[in-house]
Structure 1
Amino acid sequence: MTNTSQIQQKWLDNPSSLPCNLPDWGLIVVEGSDAASFLQNQLTNSVLGLSRTLPGQMAQDFTGTRLAGYCSPKGRLLASAWLGLFPSAGDTDDRFALFISKDIAASTAKRLSMFILRSKVKVTDLSNDWNIAGLFCSRSQIDNIKLDPHCINLRIPNVLVSEQSVARLLMAYPKDVSIALENSDIRLSTWNDLEVLSAIPRIVQATQEQFVPQMINFESVSGVDFKKGCYPGQEIVARSQYRGAIKRRLQLAYATNAELTAPGTELFHSADPGQPAGMVVLSAQSPYISGRTDIQIECKLEALETGEIHLGGTDGPVLKIDSLPYPLIEI
């Protein structure tokens, strides 16, 4: 990617270890003695076996944090979330924290609550009461970060930039707690760009119910456990995997001087202008290259073979396709 070395050099030149607030992120807490079994029956990934992360600690690796999706009965993603197990001090019950897009947090919490029935579970949307912050730094720095005991800390996968790994940490803390922040525009835009370059999707309101998990590589980034029990849409997700029904995938792309890059913006192929070839999943303005937008797109595989993919319409900007930072699980 043409901008990765520039991003790498910029944050190496100013290696702040302070987080910045993430206004697009929210938090849902699912707690109670039946919380684990409840989520196990709702999400695409298993929550069983997650290690408990105590105050002042960091949830990390597959033992401490997992990516999970929440599907409709038709197998379409309603939400995606990073989750960990964060028990309250002195409480033996489970308490799961789900870091999720803020614009779908309330509706997701409401929908989950509809299926509690007689389970000993409480689902709470804390997005208006807690702040979400993000920190990125070098791999050598991340283990030396001093963690505030008031924060829930969840490490998400590194992003490979110019052959070096950028470590990332999601943090949640009550709004009445003050922590040291660096809320600069460049810090936030770099976090957002790193998220796009990770090629790990995040569902937002504009893309709800648009994708079966495999259409945005969810199984290739460890967001689906095909060995776990049933969950909403499980049969369709499994059928898509084992019958090779998926002909669309998430790709990385970029555009220059593009105005329509919001999630949900449709893509059109030069050879088939009458119907969309895909849509934008997530996008971010490059913090260091003027006019460049980095984009996660969901796209028909055949559209990548020949011709051009345009953003927003057949007369829109032409997308340049970049390579993915991980191998796809073949379907």
Structure 2
Amino acid sequence: MSTWQAILGDQQPSAGGVRQPALALCDHLAVIRVTGDEAGDYLQGQITADLKHIDEGAQRLAMHLSLKGRGLVSARVAAMPGGYLLVVPQARVDDTLRCFEKYKLRAKADFQPDPELAVAQLSGGVDGTLAEAGLPVPGAGQSAHRDGITVLRYAHADVTLLVAAPGLLGAHWQALSAERALVDGNGARFQDILAGEAQVFSGGEDLFLPQVLNYDVLGGVSFKKGCYTGQEVVARMHFKGKLKQRMRAFQYQGPPLRAGESLRNADGKAVGEVVDSAPGVPSPVALAALRVTHEGELYHGDQPLHAEPLELPYPLPQPKA
């Protein structure tokens, strides 16, 4: 929290999510800068999203895959002056660097964490707050950069990330925080879950095809661009396969659920894996990759979760017959 201390003063963020306009301190996220003459060409061959759209102003969730087409790491990708930003889970920075650098060889692309950049999240009433703060207001799924602040707007939810040096965020803090609940990183994950936007957290490595985490709906996987690691498996599933799992959201009763943990039905049969969870009001929420045929209660071990489905803010494709 030391990064935020000069900004916050006596303010103390609440732990967990709220269902009202909020400003979150995303200390669970970090930023990696990608620069170099061949940064775009190299990144295009390493991630599932099409960098063409990102170069045109979009922001996208994207994965770097294993040879079997499962996500090893993920990032929210946006263009910046001179290169690209990768917003990744703080705990997975080293893993992300290893994944992106293992094929680099002599490519002129440099991946460097930037500890001088902080990430905040606005949720609810985003347009008005950005305008009041004198910040750009990108369209849905787009990014904008002005005077050292990058604004990343989610495609299907009233949520935006702000990436900047703490001093720049501090200059706009009064307008950003006015009439908003101040929450911590768990509060930001709470909003991501409600938005149906997931990253690959520790424990979820090499488990999920991008389509399973709905990246096909979110524009985070391209079936038309050139090759990338794992592309054949992903394309085969899209054009010829029958997807057995889809990510769904629910609220539940119980302790935090960790990525990769198994969820079971009333008969004790595994029906999916946890993608992420976060505490909040009135109850915790979670994302899980569940079998498309699953209905009924979910169990964590032998404990029922009293799970109640939450509607995602985007439609899912109908399963193939």
Gaps of 5+ in 1: 1-5, 53-62, 88-93, 160-165
Query: 2:102 is matched by which residue type in structure 1?
Result: M
Which residue does 1:134 correspond to in 2?
121
Equivalent residue of 2:50, what SS? coil
Taking the TM superposition and a 5 Å limit, the aligned residue runs for 1:246-261 are 246-256=243-253, 258-261=254-257
Pair 1:81 & 2:75 matched: yes
Give the length in aligned residue pairs: 286
Alignment of 1:263-274 (within 5 A): 263-271=259-267, 273=268
Q: Which residue of 1 aligns with 2:143?
A: none
Residue equivalent to 2:270: 276
The answer on 1:35 being equivalent to 2:39 is: yes
Retained in 2: the 8 A contact 1:219–1:329? no
What is the rounded CA distance, in whole Å, between the counterparts of 1:315 and 1:50 in structure 2?
A: 43
Asked if 1:112 is matched to 2:106, the reply is: no
Partner of 2:148: 150
Match of 1:3 in 2: none
* Counterpart residue number, 1:321: 309
For the Cα contact (< 8 Å) 1:286–1:293, is it kept in 2? yes
8 A Cα contact 2:73 2:95, kept in partner: no
TM-score w.r.t. the length of structure 1 is 0.78
Greater mean alpha carbon deviation, residues 259-268 or residues 205-214: 259-268
CA distance in 2, matches of 1:262, 1:300: 18
Computed over aligned residues only, the root mean square deviation of the Cα atoms, in angstroms, reads: 2.6
| 1:44 is the counterpart of 2:48 | yes
Alignment pair present for 1:97 and 2:85: yes
**Whose strand proportion is higher, 1 or 2?**
1
In the TM superposition, residue 172 of structure 1 has moved relative to its aligned partner by 2.3
- TM normalised by structure 2 equals 0.80
SS at match of 2:217: helix
**Does residue 1:299 correspond to 2:290, yes or no?**
yes
Tell me the residue number matched to 1:309. Answer: 298
Query: Pick from 217, 235, 239: which aligns with 1:238?
Result: 235
- CA 1:98–1:280: 2 relative to 1, 3 Å: same
Q: Percent identity?
A: 24
1:245 deviation in Å?
A: 3.1
2:199 to 167, 185, 202: 202
Cα distance in 1 for residues equivalent to 2:216 and 2:36 = 29
Please give the secondary structure, in 2, of the residue aligned with 1:303: coil
In the superposition, relative to structure 1, how do residues 171 and 260 fare at CA in structure 2: closer, same or farther (>3 Å)? closer
2:162 to 156, 171, 175: 171
What is the identity, as a one-letter code, of the residue corresponding to 1:138?
Answer: G
1:23 equivalent in alignment to 2:27: yes
Correspondence for 1:225: 222
Tell me the CA shift for residue 207 of structure 1. 0.9
- Quote how far apart the aligned CAs of 1:265 are: 2.7
Q: Secondary structure at the match of 1:69?
A: strand
Give the partner amino acid of 2:271: A
Secondary structure, aligned partner of 1:37: helix
Q: Structure 2: which 5+ runs fail to align?
A: 1-16, 136-145
Report deviation, 1:204: 0.8
The Cα shift of 1:255 comes to: 0.7
Do the aligned residues in 2 keep the contact of 1:252 with 1:296 (CA within 8 Å)? yes
SS in 2 for 1:104: helix
Amino acid at match of 1:81: A
Letter in 1 for 2:99: R
